[in-house]
Amino acid sequence: MVPGTLPRLYVPHLPLNLLPDMVVSKDDSTDGKYTQVYRFRFEPLVLACTVNDPSFAVTDADIVSGVNNLRLLMDFAFETANKSFRIDLEFRAQTLFMTRWVSELSNLARTSRCRGYGRGFEEVSTISKGVDPQQTSHHQVVSYNLGGLKTIVQYQADACNCQCGETWSDEAIDKAAKSSDVKSTVSGDCLRVIKGGISLTSSCLVEIKSRESRNHGLHDILPQLWLSRQSIMMLGRHSGGRFTTIESDDMDHQIGVWEERHGHLLKSYTTLLAEIYRTVRAAADRTHECRFALLLCRDQNADTLQLFNRRDGQEMLAPDCPITQ
């Protein structure tokens, strides 16, 4: 649905006791259901943006990526990466698409469930009317210049906290689904885009986080807010799942201070992105291949990023997608 619906922020009463988030294995599920993952990673983004703005052209961008990939590369540039990773790349019409790699596409919807209390705290801190929060998610797209590279970044938004973000009723969603939609059929796959919901600006959005009470640092949160261009955050503090404090704040000042303190590292980061773009473009021109994998390889001497051709992983756009021709 474009521009879509988003849960409203709700501040739960304290104290609040939550069970740890469920870890879902390959053969386990909640009611046997998972959100299906569309075959072509960025086609929903492209079609949604085109429906919202007919003048949108994804190939005007140098880089199109989910926020997590940019964060992984930031950790490498900052020399704070603590584990190996793989990012799948595809170079189309002078635009570099980046997405995270999973061993099986069917596992992608499961990977967001992990140990901790973040998912549970988010669920009790939002009100979803007319949508099933277990089966839907809201994604925001922002565009900005990153070290001279025109960058489109997609991230999952948690909640809104404004009157313009009223969630649609069941009846309104059903009516929209029957009355106005855009269909795209590419290589046998059918993607349906429903026109409905309300457009939200970044100032309407709230990032919801949870944290152990003894952990006072924000070093892992501020980079994410910086990359997604968000500033409003609600942070729940707990001890073993017992939440006793909730802090809501505009983090714009803290983000600015973080950016100033890390200016030299951010320069290294944007230099790294530019080098990745140039290297992939050159490899695509030389080999006439468009699909690559970027791996962080670790050994006792140093961490290195290495580029490989790939034959597996998720496809970014259909080969015959007219948007890139």
pLDDT tens-place string over residues 262-294 = 999 999 999 999 999 999 999 999 988 899 999
pLDDT average, residue stretch 3-24: 87
What is the pLDDT confidence band of residue 30, given thresholds at 50, 70 and 90?
very low
Segment 65-72 mean pLDDT: 96
Q: Indicate the average pLDDT of the chain.
A: 84
To the nearest 10 degrees (0 to 180), the angle between helices 263-287 and 67-77 is: 110
Q: Per the structure, how many domains does the chain have?
A: 1
Residue 23 has pLDDT above 60, yes or no: no
Residues 240, 20: Cα–Cα separation, whole Å: 9
CA distance 83 to 66: 19
DSSP helix/strand/coil, 199:
coil
Distance, CA of 159 to chain centre: 14
The domain of 318 spans 2-324
Confidence at residue 115, expressed as pLDDT on a 0 to 100 scale: 65
CA distance 205 to 79: 30
- The count of other CB atoms within 10 Å of the CB of residue 219 is 10
The Cα–Cα gap between 205 and 248 comes to 12
Cα distances (Å, whole numbers) of residue 269 to 105, 148, 151, 263: 29, 12, 14, 10
- d(Cα 153, Cα 230) in Å, to the nearest integer? 12
Query: What is the per-residue pLDDT for 70?
Result: 97
Residues 307 and 292 sit within 8 Å (Cβ to Cβ): yes
Mean pLDDT for the stretch of residues 6-27:
82
pLDDT tens-digit map of 156-186: 999 998 766 454 455 555 555 444 455 554 4
Mean predicted confidence (pLDDT) in 18-42: 64
CB atoms near residue 121 (< 10 Å) = 25
Per DSSP, 109 falls in state G
